[in-house]
Amino acid sequence: MGKIRVGFGFDVHRLVEGRELWLGGIRLEHSMGLLGHSDADVLIHAICDALLGAANMRDIGYHFPDTGEEFRDIDSKILLRKTVELIGTKGYRVGNVDATVCAERPKLKPHIPAMQVCLAEVMGIDADDVSVKATTTEKLGFTGREEGISAYATVLIES
């Protein structure tokens, strides 16, 4: 049996008017979107950080700096694909992903199956190996006030 490792990722982006809302690689209809150098997909960014951490390869900002013009408004699915390729250079592949998105609105439950399929396709794994959960913060904190959205991800990688 090969080596297995786990990683944890976390990301936050501010909600603002005039931006599209991208979560888990899919566009959601909402009055606000996430602010960031890329498309600001917090779920994908948390997964990328978890994968990089599991492989002991620093973090998303190290590999895809927000000072890099080549990453301005980039589709985060490209960053996820590149992250999977990066961990592959150390002999790792994605085993499974377990992620949670914290947002008051929009309601994410109806979109979760599409997110799972999209993320699995990008990472080259089975949709059954991608768990996405949604929660609110019961109107508490910055997510509760709808100032932003946060995401957490735990991953297992194997060699």
**pLDDT tens per residue across span 89-140:** 999 999 999 999 999 999 999 999 999 999 999 999 999 999 999 999 999 9
Residue 151's pLDDT band (boundaries 50, 70, 90)? very high
Binding residues for a divalent metal cation: 11, 13, 45
Please state, in angstroms and rounded to a whole number, the distance separating the CA atoms of residues 118 and 76: 12
Q: Would you state the CATH architecture of domain 4-158?
A: 2-Layer Sandwich (3.30)
Backbone angles phi, psi at 113, to 5 degrees: -60, -40
pLDDT in tens, 10-45: 999 999 999 999 999 999 999 999 999 999 999 999
Binding-site residues: 11-13, 37-38, 45, 59-61, 135-138, 142, 145
Give dist(CA 159, CA 146) in Å, integer.
Answer: 40
Virtual torsion, Cα 84, 87, 92, 97, nearest 10 deg: -50
Q: Residues 149-153: what's their mean pLDDT?
A: 98
| Angle at 104 (CA atoms; ends 101, 110), nearest 5 degrees | 65
pTM equals 0.97
